[in-house]
């Protein structure tokens, strides 16, 4: 059975999409069958895949809820799924209306994505399903959490990170307390856009690592990603770092291969 892993942080611009995109490609490079799901109405991941997105995952999710029959659109998984070295279920602006759309249904609103994945046997069809989440802790992200086995949290080390992380762990605990699904495990935190020359930033990062170590046990924080021009270059040409052959990219390739290795090791421990 494939593993579902979400990239989540309620803060914007911390590298969720960048990490999800490159980690998905690193896993595919290792021979895994990988599906990426874009759950963000901004559709940044979809843009990186240069994918057409009408219809998109929103219509598939709505179509999967029987009670929403009057809103069903003529969209099928086969016409929405984009095939490539990494497959993609694209996002669209319509996703911003997801909360309202499902507000009145009797079926569990937090399980729409999970049910959709079950009905379509997505876990059986892929080794890894990578979900890129919007910068909120709204219903879409709760759906991602309830459908996931594991979570990776990219973050920028600053004063607010620790508070934000604590709030996020509380949300995961709330999901566990509901007792409907097994809450996913936050198995990796990735410090991103780190400037180690700034003392304040190094201090903040050290504090955050100590706090995560004591709360979740050691080994759950990846080595920091620095601010890398190469990453910006690859993203603006909508390519993964593995599409480049120059020396400039070998370090970034190593880092993302390292993230993929963490994902593989974690998933082998959780068969
Ligand atoms: N290590 C890095 N070095 C340089 N630029 C980076 C790095 N990581 C991310 N970026 C840049 O930072 C910006 C934000 O990254 P990204 O879109 O991945 O964040 P996000 O968390 O998905 O944002 P949002 O919350 O809006 O979805 C992008 O323009 C990206 O190119
Ligand atoms: Mg994003």
Domain total in the chain: 1
Q: Does a structural domain hold residue 91? A: yes
Give Cβ neighbours of residue 2 (< 8 Å, ≥ 6 apart): 33, 122, 123, 124, 125, 126, 127, 128, 129
Is residue 85 within 8 Å of 118, Cβ to Cβ? no
Residue to mutate, 8, 13, 239, ligand 1, most ligand atoms under 8 Å from C-beta: 13
CATH number of the domain that residue 248 is part of: 3.40.50.300
Q: Where are the beta strands (DSSP E) in 48-168?
A: 87-89, 128-132, 150-155
- Residue among 170, 160, 215, 165 at smallest CA distance from 190: 165
Residue ID of nearest Cα to ligand 1 atom 18: 15
Q: Give the whole-angstrom CA distance, residue 81 versus residue 90.
A: 7
Is residue 148 within 8 Å of 184, Cβ to Cβ? yes
Closest approach atom of ligand 1 to CA 228: 3
pLDDT tens track, the chain, 271 positions: 999 999 999 999 999 999 999 999 999 999 999 999 999 999 999 999 999 999 999 999 999 999 999 999 999 999 999 999 999 999 999 999 999 999 999 999 999 999 999 999 999 999 999 999 999 999 999 999 999 999 999 999 987 788 999 999 999 999 999 999 999 999 999 999 999 899 999 999 999 999 999 999 999 999 999 999 999 999 999 999 999 999 889 999 999 999 999 999 999 998 7
Q: Which residue bears the tokens 């991103």?
A: 192
Residues of the domain holding 233 = 3-148+223-263
Q: How far is the CA of 40 from the centre of ligand 2 (A)?
A: 7
Q: Does a structural domain hold residue 213? A: no
Q: How far is the CA of 153 from the centre of ligand 2 (A)?
A: 12
Q: Does a structural domain hold residue 245? A: yes
Claim: this prediction has a pTM higher than 0.95 = yes
Q: CA 55, 57, 58, 62 torsion: positive or negative? A: positive
Q: Quick check: helix, strand or coil at residue 89?
A: strand
Q: Give the whole-angstrom CA distance, residue 211 versus residue 240.
A: 32
Please give the pLDDT value at position 219.
94
Q: How far is the CA of 101 from the centre of ligand 1 (A)?
A: 29
Q: Does a structural domain hold residue 212? A: no
Q: Does a structural domain hold residue 195? A: no
**Pocket around ligand 1 at a 6 A CB cut-off:** 12-18, 40, 42, 44, 135, 192-193, 225, 227-228, 231-232, 235
């Amino acid at each position: 059975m494939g593993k579902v892993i979400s990239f989540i942080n309620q803060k914007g611009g911390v590298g969720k999409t960048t990490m999800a995109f490159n980690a998905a490609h690193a896993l595919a490079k290792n021979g895994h069958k990988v599906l990426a799901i874009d759950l963000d109405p901004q559709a940044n991941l979809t843009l990186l895949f240069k994918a057409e997105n009408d219809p998109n995952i929103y219509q598939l999710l709505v179509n999967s809820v029987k009670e929403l029959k009057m809103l069903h659109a003529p969209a099928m998984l086969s016409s929405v799924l984009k095939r490539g070295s990494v497959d993609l279920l694209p996002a669209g602006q319509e996703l911003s209306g997801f909360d309202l759309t499902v507000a009145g249904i009797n079926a569990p609103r937090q399980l729409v994505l999970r049910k959709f994945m079950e009905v379509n046997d997505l876990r059986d069809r892929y080794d890894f399903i990578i979900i890129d989440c919007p910068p909120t802790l709204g219903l879409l992200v709760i759906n991602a959490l309830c459908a996931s086995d594991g979570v990776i949290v990219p973050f920028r080390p600053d004063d607010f990170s620790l508070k934000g992380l604590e709030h996020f762990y509380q949300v995961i605990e709330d999901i566990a307390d509901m007792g409907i699904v097994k809450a996913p495990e936050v198995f990796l935190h990735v410090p991103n856009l780190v400037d180690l020359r700034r003392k304040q930033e190094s201090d903040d990062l050290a504090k955050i690592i100590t706090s995560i170590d004591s709360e979740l046990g050691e080994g759950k924080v990846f080595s920091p990603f620095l601010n890398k021009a190469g990453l910006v270059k690859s993203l603006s040409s909508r390519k993964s770092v593995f599409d480049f052959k120059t020396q400039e990219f070998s370090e970034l390739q190593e880092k993302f291969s390292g993230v993929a290795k963490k994902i593989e090791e974690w998933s082998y421990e959780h068969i």
